[in-house]
Structure 1
Amino acid sequence: MNRRSFLRAIGSAALLPILPRRPFAATTNFRRRRPSDATWPSQSAWKQLNETVGGNLIPVDFPINKLLDENIRNPYYIGDQPGLTETLGWVDAWATKPSVYAVAARNANDIAAAVNFARENDLRLVVKGGGHSYQGTSNAPDSLLIWTRHMHDIEMHDQFVPQGCEHAIQPQPAVTVGAGTIGMQAYDVVTTKGGKYVQGGGCTTVCLGGLVQSGGFGSYSKHYGTAAGGLLEAEVVTADGQIRIANACTNPDLFWALKGGGGGSFGVVSKMTLRVHDLPEFFGAANFTVKAASDDAYRRLIREFVSFYHDHLFNDHWGEQAHVKPDNTLEISMTSYGLNQEQARKVWQPFLDWVARSPNDYSLKGRVNIGSIPARHWWEVQWWKEHWPEIAFPRDGVVHGLLDDVLVNVLPQPLFDFDTRPGASPNNAWWKGDAGQVAWFIWGFESLWMPASMLEPDSQQRLADALFAASRHSGFELHFNKGLGGAPPDAIAAAKDTATNPAVLTAFALVIAGDAQKPAYPGSPGHEPSVAEGREARKRVHQCVDQLRAIVPNPGAYVSESNYFENGFQQAYWGGNHARLADIKKKYDPDGLFFVHNGVGSEQWSPDGFTKL
C-alpha cells in the first residue's frame, strides 16, 4: 500500500482520539501550501528541483502496517526510512506522518536548493537526521523534508582553527562530521580508531547534528561537558538559502544559537567541527538493583543513596542513571570515567555494605556488576563480540558458570543489540538499555533539572522525601550525566557559553519521568495506541514530577527530553537566554521558514506550522 492509499485507508477519524483539540485562529496573515491547493508546485517544478539536487528528490513512502510487523524494533532500519521517526507519536499530541517529498541531501548545495524551493513555494519544511525527536519536530505531513541521513563523512584534525579565527584561537584537535552522522559512526572513527573522544549521545543512533543544536549529553558529559559546548564551527544554510560559516569569529550570534538553541529553528546544519578530547585508560559501569521490603525501608534507602551520592559520586567520574521505582526498588545503571575495576568497586563498597547489614529490609536482585574495560573498546562492537561471546550470543539462553565467575566480574554489564539485516554494517549496534525508545508511542514524558544545592547536608532529607513522594506516582530516573554540577571548570565554562538553560550548570542531575507503549500507531490493527491508559499515565508522570518541582526554585527542562505540553517552554528550555535567541531568529529567519514545535518563534504559528497567527 502506498503512502496516499494508506492515509486514505485509515481516514482522519482514526486520528481524532489522539490528536490535540485546538481552536483555529480567528485571523490569519499567511498559510503555507498543501498538495490539495491549486498553487502547490507543478510536477515540472519538482522535476527541476530533482535535477538541481542531482536526482536525490524522492517521494516518501509510509507502509506503516507492514513496518510494524517487520523491522520496526531496529533503530537503524527506522533511520534508513525517510518516512519514519524513532518515536511514532504521543497521545493527544502527534503521530508520525510522512512528507510528500524528501531531498536526500549529500552536501550544502542540495540543502540550499531545498531551502530555496520551500521558501519560494511557501512550503512547510522539516529537517531530519536521526529522527530521534520525542516531540515530532523532524516530521510533518504535506511537507518537504531535508534528509541528512547520508551526510556522514568524518575527518579528523590534529590542529584545527575555525575560519577567521587564525589570530584569536589556538589550533586544537577536532573532528568534522556531516550533519547526519550518528553517534556510533563518530565513536568508531574518533575513539575506536583514533583513540580520542568526541561528545556524542549516550544512545548510539542519535544524530550529532540534532544533538549539538539541542545541547547534547552523552554518558560522559559529567567530565567532558555538553555536545554544544564542544562545537567549534558549523556550516549552515540559513532561510535565505545562503551557505554560511558560523564560529566564534564569523557570524558569532548564529554560532551561539546553534549551540543549544534547538534543532531546526535557525537553519539547516550541513557539517560541524567538534572538539576532541583525550581518552582515559578506562571506561566502566556499575549495575545492580536493591529491593526494599517496606515503604519505610525504601525511604531510608533513598536517603542513604542521596548521602552516598553526595559523598562518593558527585564528581566527574560517575554519570548515567539511578532508577527510582514505585515497587520500592532502586536500580543503579551508572557509568564510570577513568576508574579501573578495583577503584570502581572500592567506591561502591560502603553502600553495598550498608545494604548487606539489613538483610530483612533489603535484598539484591540479580548480580552486582561493577567493572571497567579499556576506554578505546567501549564502542568497539567486534571487541565486545570477541570478549563476551556467551553473553552477547548465548547458545542456549543461559549464562554459563565460567563466564559468570570470570568475565561478569571483569566486564561491565551494558551490552549491545545488533542490526542483523543482510549487508548491514558490523558496527550497527545499540545498547540494550536504549531499546525501549525504539518505535514507542509516548503517553507522558517530563524532565526537570535538580540543583546541586539539594545535596547539601541540610537539604538531603528534603530531597530524599521528595524523591520518595514522587515514586508513589510514577517511576523516574536521575540522569547524573545531564547535569554539570560536579563537572570540571572547563566543561562548565564551555557550557556556559551556549544557549542551554543555565540551570544545567549547577544541576547535579536531570530527572526524567515517562511512560509509553510500543510499538503503536493509530489505525494499525493490533497496534492501536491505548488512549485512555495513556492519559492516566500522563497524569501520573505529571504528579510525579510535580513533587520534585515543589522543591526546585526555578524549574528548567531539557528541550530534547521534555513534555510536549511544556508550560512556558521558553523559560523552561532556555531561561534568560530566550530573549537573545528570539532576536537571532528574527535576524536569520524573519519569515519563520524554520518551524518546530515549542521552538524559538513557534508561538507565532499554528500548532502544525502552516498558518501564521
Structure 2
Amino acid sequence: MGLMLRDLFLIATSFTATALASRAPDYFDFETVQLLPADLKRLDSDATALFAFDSKTQQDHFPRSPSHCKVFPGDRAWPSKADWGLLNRATGGALVKGVPRASSCYNGPLYDASDCEYLTSRWTDSYFHLDDPIEMLSPVYQGLTCQPTTQPNETCTMGGYPDYVINATNVAQIQLGINFARNTGVRLVVKNTGHDFSGKSGGAGALSIWTHNLKGVKYIENYDAPGTDWTGAAFKLGSGVQAYEIYQVAQDHGLMVVGGEGQTVGVMGGYVLGGGHSPLSSIHGMAADQVLSMEVVTPDGRFVTASFVENEELFWALRGGGGSTFGVVTSVTIKAHPTIPVTTSTFSFSTGGNITYDSFWAGFRAYLDYFIPHSDAGIYSYFFILPSNGQFTFLMQPVVFPNKTLEEANALLAPWFEQLNDLGITFTPETKYFDNFYDAWLESFPLEAVEKTHVATGSRLFPRENFQDKALLDQTFDAIKESSDAGLILIAFNMAPTLERGGNPDNAVNPAWRKAVMHALSSVNWAEDATTDEIMAARHEFTYKHMQRWRDVSPGAGAYLGESDRMEPDFQQAFYGSNYPRLLALKKRIDPRNVFYAATAVGSEHWTVVTEDGLPTENGRLCRVPH
C-alpha cells in the first residue's frame, strides 16, 4: 500500500497526459492533472475506500456520530493519523495543518513577540492575509478564538478554523480532497480569499479546499464556442485570480472585465458564483452575466465542463446560485470588453456648523430622486452615511461615470449639487477624468479594511418601484434614516444591473437584482468586551428590528448573497428568489451525500452549526437539523 500511495499523484499525472490530449488546449496545465477512475485500480481496498469516486447507486453512507453530525475531531470515526498521512502523500504533500496566524501572540511553542507585533500592525490590511490558508476576513464567524493580543497568557484555539487544508495547485488534489471528505464523513469547506461576509470559508473540524493558488490567466482574442453568440475577447481565469490581477492584465490588452471594487477579492470564486456587482454593472450587468464557461469538480469527485452546451443545468446554477454548493470551480471563462474612459467624483459633507441635522437629511433625500436617471445613464455610486455621537457624515467614495467626459459628469451631478448648496451644504468634490477604466478604479476606490471583530452586516436590494412612487420613496428614506438615527452604518450603491444590460442571460442570479436601483448594507457594532447575551441581543435586534424596517418597505424584494446577514429570515427567498426551487432540486440531484455546505447556501436549511455559546459562527460541529 505504501508504494501505491506514494505513486498515486504521479499515476494521476501520467494517465491524464494521454487521456486528455484532445482537451488540453482548453485546460490550464493545472487542469490536465486529473484523477481518473483507472488510477484507483492500482490501490488496495483501504486506500480505495478513502479516495473512491461516488456511485449514485449507493445510499448516503458517510460515517455519523449518534447525533447525525459530520465527523468531528475526537469522534471514533475521525480519520486516523495514517489516513491523513495518506491524503497528504496522495496530493503530493499539499495537505496543510491549520494553524491560526495569531498563534505567535500566545504563550506556547509558537510564541514570538516580534512577529506578534508585526502581524498586529498589518492585521486589517487585506493584502496581509492573502497567503494564509485558513484566515477568515470576517473573523466574527470564526469565533474570535485566536485574535492578536498583548496578553500572551490568554488562550488560542482553532475555533471555526478548519483542521486541515489542501493547498490546491491542480485538479487531482481537489478531487482527492472531495472524495476523502465524502468517504470519511469529514466536513468540507472551500476557501478562495476568505472575503465572504458570512464566514462561508470556515468550519470547525473541517477539511478545506484552498483555491487561492489556481492563478492561470489565458487571453482569448476572439472567443468562439457553441451555444453563445459572443465573438469578442475573453479571458480564461483560474479561480484564484483576484481583482487587482485581472484588472491589470485586462488593461495591458486595452480591455476591462466586470469585477468588484475590492482589490483583493477573488473574483472567480465566491464573488462571481454569488452574482457579483461591479462599478460596470449599470452598463454590463452582473459578473455572473459575463461567464461563458466553467471547469468544476462536482461532489462525486469528477471534473467536468459547464457551459451553454455541456452540463447546462449546472452552468445555470453556478452563475449566481452561490459558492461552496455545487462543486469546486477551478477556472472561469468570461467576456472582456474594450476599456472606456471613466470620470469619478469623491466628496463628503457632515453635520456641524451651517449644516444642521435637518439640512443634512434633506440633502440625502434629494439625492434619492436621481437614482433612476443616474443608473439609467450607466452611473454607479458607492456611498456611506456614518453616524458618530449624534453627528452624521455623508461620504461618496466614489460615484463612477463610465464613458462620460468631465463635462458630462458635472452636468449629471449639477441638479443635486444645486439643491445641496441651496440647503447650505458646502463641500468640495474631487472630480477626475481617466482615459481608461483601470486607472479610474485603482485611484478612486479605497483599499478595504478587513478583520472586523464586533460587527454584523445585512443588506437589501431596493427595487425601482420604490423610487418611482413618491410616497413609497419617502417611506424608504424614513426607514434608512431611522436606522442611521439608531447608530447603524449605511453603505450603499446606486446601480441597475438589468437583464438587458447583462445581455439578457438565463442564469441563477437573484431576480431581485434585475429590478434593483439600490443595493444597501447596514451594520451594527457591539462593544469588544460584550457578553454572549449582549452580542446575541444586538444581533437579534439588528436582524428582526432594524433590517425588518427595510424589508417592510420593499416586500418581495431580496438581498445580496455575498454581503449578507447570516441570520436573514427566509433566506431562500431573500438571496435566491424564484430560482430557489430549481436550485434546490439540482443540489439534491448532484450532491445527494451533502458533501458541500455553507451558511445560507442552497440546501443549508437542513443543517446547523452547533456552537457552545449559541452565537451564529463556524465554531462547532455541523449537524443535521432534526425533522
TM-score by length of 2: 0.76
Of 269, 273, 280 in structure 2, the residue corresponding to residue 220 of structure 1 is: 280
Of 348, 351, 356 in structure 1, the residue corresponding to residue 421 of structure 2 is: 356
The answer on whether the counterparts of 1:290 and 1:363 sit within 8 Å (CA) in structure 2 is no
What is the match of residue 337 of structure 2?
277
Closer/same/farther in 2, CA of residues 271 and 212 from structure 1, 3 Å limit: same
Alpha-carbon separation, structure 2, partners of 1:260 and 1:565 = 20
Of 388, 395, 411 in structure 2, the residue corresponding to residue 331 of structure 1 is: 395
The answer on whether the counterparts of 2:191 and 2:210 sit within 8 Å (CA) in structure 1 is yes
After the TM superposition, which residues 137-536 of structure 1 pair with which residues of structure 2 at under 5 Å, given as runs? Answer: 137-162=200-225, 165=226, 169-190=229-250, 192-208=251-267, 209-289=269-349, 291=351, 293-311=355-373, 313-326=374-387, 327-333=391-397, 334-359=399-424, 362-364=425-427, 367-378=428-439, 414=444, 431-432=446-447, 434-435=448-449, 438-456=450-468, 458-459=470-471, 460-473=473-486, 474-481=488-495, 483-484=496-497, 487=498, 489-491=500-502, 493-494=504-505, 497-516=506-525, 534=535
Shift of 1:357: 2.6
The answer on whether the counterparts of 2:96 and 2:165 sit within 8 Å (CA) in structure 1 is yes
The answer on whether the counterparts of 1:288 and 1:369 sit within 8 Å (CA) in structure 2 is no
Aligned residue-pair number? 516
The answer on whether the counterparts of 2:342 and 2:440 sit within 8 Å (CA) in structure 1 is no
The answer on whether the counterparts of 1:187 and 1:198 sit within 8 Å (CA) in structure 2 is yes
Local SS of the residue matching 2:579? helix
After the TM superposition, which residues 570-609 of structure 1 pair with which residues of structure 2 at under 5 Å, given as runs? Answer: 570-607=572-609
Q: Which amino acid aligns with 2:95?
A: L
What is the match of residue 102 of structure 2?
64
Shift of 1:545: 3.0
Alpha-carbon separation, structure 1, partners of 2:127 and 2:325 = 26
Alpha-carbon separation, structure 1, partners of 2:503 and 2:95 = 42
Alpha-carbon separation, structure 2, partners of 1:221 and 1:81 = 31
Alpha-carbon separation, structure 1, partners of 2:483 and 2:384 = 12
Q: Which amino acid aligns with 1:566?
A: E
What is the match of residue 31 of structure 2?
none
- List alignment gaps of at least 5 residues for structure 1: 1-26, 385-413, 416-430, 521-526
Alpha-carbon separation, structure 2, partners of 1:471 and 1:586 = 41
Q: Is 1:46 equivalent to 2:84 in the alignment?
A: yes
Shift of 1:185: 1.0
The answer on whether the counterparts of 1:450 and 1:510 sit within 8 Å (CA) in structure 2 is yes
The answer on whether the counterparts of 2:456 and 2:539 sit within 8 Å (CA) in structure 1 is yes
What is the match of residue 6 of structure 1?
none
Identity %: 25
Alpha-carbon separation, structure 1, partners of 2:142 and 2:200 = 15
Local SS of the residue matching 1:606? strand
Local SS of the residue matching 1:300? helix
Shift of 1:221: 1.4
Q: Which amino acid aligns with 1:73?
A: T
- List alignment gaps of at least 5 residues for structure 2: 1-64, 106-115, 147-158, 610-619
Alpha-carbon separation, structure 2, partners of 1:60 and 1:379 = 39
Measured against aligned partners, the alpha-carbon deviations of 1:458-497 in whole angstroms (never above 9, x if no partner) come to 344343333333332223132123x42xx58242623xx2
Measured against aligned partners, the alpha-carbon deviations of 1:279-308 in whole angstroms (never above 9, x if no partner) come to 212242333325473343234223321224
Local SS of the residue matching 1:160? coil
Local SS of the residue matching 2:560? coil
The answer on whether the counterparts of 2:282 and 2:375 sit within 8 Å (CA) in structure 1 is no
Closer/same/farther in 2, CA of residues 528 and 458 from structure 1, 3 Å limit: closer
Closer/same/farther in 2, CA of residues 572 and 92 from structure 1, 3 Å limit: farther
Shift of 1:187: 0.7
Shift of 1:321: 2.0
The answer on whether the counterparts of 2:70 and 2:623 sit within 8 Å (CA) in structure 1 is yes
Measured against aligned partners, the alpha-carbon deviations of 1:195-232 in whole angstroms (never above 9, x if no partner) come to 11111111111112111111111222121211111111
Alpha-carbon separation, structure 1, partners of 2:509 and 2:608 = 25
The answer on whether the counterparts of 2:363 and 2:419 sit within 8 Å (CA) in structure 1 is no
Alpha-carbon separation, structure 2, partners of 1:31 and 1:535 = 24
Measured against aligned partners, the alpha-carbon deviations of 1:497-526 in whole angstroms (never above 9, x if no partner) come to 221221110111111101347xx9xxxxxx
Alpha-carbon separation, structure 2, partners of 1:40 and 1:546 = 42
Measured against aligned partners, the alpha-carbon deviations of 1:144-170 in whole angstroms (never above 9, x if no partner) come to 1110111111111012234xx2x6645
Alpha-carbon separation, structure 1, partners of 2:383 and 2:241 = 29
Return 294-303 or 572-581, whichever deviates more: 294-303
What is the match of residue 164 of structure 2?
101
Alpha-carbon separation, structure 1, partners of 2:420 and 2:538 = 32
Q: Which amino acid aligns with 2:492?
A: L
Local SS of the residue matching 1:584? helix
Local SS of the residue matching 2:320? coil
The answer on whether the counterparts of 1:284 and 1:339 sit within 8 Å (CA) in structure 2 is no
Shift of 1:33: 1.8
Return 508-517 or 592-601, whichever deviates more: 508-517
Alpha-carbon separation, structure 1, partners of 2:257 and 2:601 = 26
Shift of 1:322: 3.0
Alpha-carbon separation, structure 1, partners of 2:521 and 2:228 = 40
Alpha-carbon separation, structure 2, partners of 1:549 and 1:55 = 49
Shift of 1:539: 5.9
Shift of 1:358: 3.5
Local SS of the residue matching 1:110? helix
Alpha-carbon separation, structure 2, partners of 1:345 and 1:605 = 52
TM-score by length of 1: 0.78
Alpha-carbon separation, structure 1, partners of 2:367 and 2:189 = 44
The answer on whether the counterparts of 2:247 and 2:438 sit within 8 Å (CA) in structure 1 is no
Q: Which amino acid aligns with 1:219?
A: P
Shift of 1:233: 0.8
The answer on whether the counterparts of 2:459 and 2:563 sit within 8 Å (CA) in structure 1 is yes
Alpha-carbon separation, structure 1, partners of 2:99 and 2:518 = 40
Alpha-carbon separation, structure 1, partners of 2:548 and 2:503 = 28
Shift of 1:580: 0.1
Alpha-carbon separation, structure 2, partners of 1:185 and 1:173 = 17
Shift of 1:109: 1.6
Local SS of the residue matching 1:324? strand
Alpha-carbon separation, structure 1, partners of 2:199 and 2:592 = 23
What is the match of residue 617 of structure 2?
none
The answer on whether the counterparts of 2:343 and 2:440 sit within 8 Å (CA) in structure 1 is no
Alpha-carbon separation, structure 2, partners of 1:589 and 1:91 = 26
Q: Which amino acid aligns with 2:88?
A: N
Closer/same/farther in 2, CA of residues 451 and 35 from structure 1, 3 Å limit: same
Closer/same/farther in 2, CA of residues 299 and 59 from structure 1, 3 Å limit: closer
Alpha-carbon separation, structure 1, partners of 2:621 and 2:560 = 22
The answer on whether the counterparts of 1:445 and 1:513 sit within 8 Å (CA) in structure 2 is yes
Closer/same/farther in 2, CA of residues 104 and 128 from structure 1, 3 Å limit: same
Shift of 1:46: 2.2
Local SS of the residue matching 1:572? helix
Q: Which amino acid aligns with 1:339?
A: K
Closer/same/farther in 2, CA of residues 161 and 492 from structure 1, 3 Å limit: closer
Of 569, 583, 603 in structure 2, the residue corresponding to residue 567 of structure 1 is: 569
Alpha-carbon separation, structure 1, partners of 2:142 and 2:248 = 36
Shift of 1:440: 0.6
The answer on whether the counterparts of 2:350 and 2:360 sit within 8 Å (CA) in structure 1 is no
What is the match of residue 33 of structure 1?
71
